[in-house]
C-alpha cells in the first residue's frame, strides 16, 4: 500500500525527470522568436490604431451633423 509520502516522492522524481528533458533555446531561436513577437505586436498596434482612427472619424462626422 502506497502512502502519501511515496506519492509525493514519485511526483518530485517525475518532475525532476521532465525538467532534465528541457533545453534552453539557442541564441538564433531566441532572436527569431523575438522578431516574430515584435513584428506581430507592431502589426496589431497598427491595426488597432487604424480602427480607432476610422471609428473616431465616423463618430465625429455623426456628432457634428
- Domain that residue 31 falls in: 4-64
| pLDDT surpasses 90 at 65 | no
Phi and psi angles of residue 17, each rounded to the nearest 5 degrees, phi first: -60, -40
Domain count for the chain: 1
Predicted local distance difference test score (pLDDT) of residue 1: 64
pLDDT digits (tens, 9 = 90+) for 6-63: 999 999 999 999 999 999 999 999 999 999 999 999 999 999 999 999 999 999 999 8
Predicted local distance difference test score (pLDDT) of residue 64: 83
Amino acid at each position: 500500500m502506497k502512502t502519501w509520502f511515496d506519492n509525493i516522492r514519485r511526483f518530485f522524481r517525475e518532475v525532476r525527470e521532465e525538467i532534465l528533458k528541457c533545453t534552453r533555446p539557442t541564441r538564433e531561436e531566441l532572436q527569431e522568436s523575438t522578431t516574430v513577437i515584435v513584428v506581430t505586436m507592431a502589426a496589431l498596434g497598427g491595426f488597432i490604431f487604424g480602427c480607432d482612427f476610422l471609428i473616431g472619424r465616423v463618430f465625429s462626422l455623426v456628432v457634428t451633423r
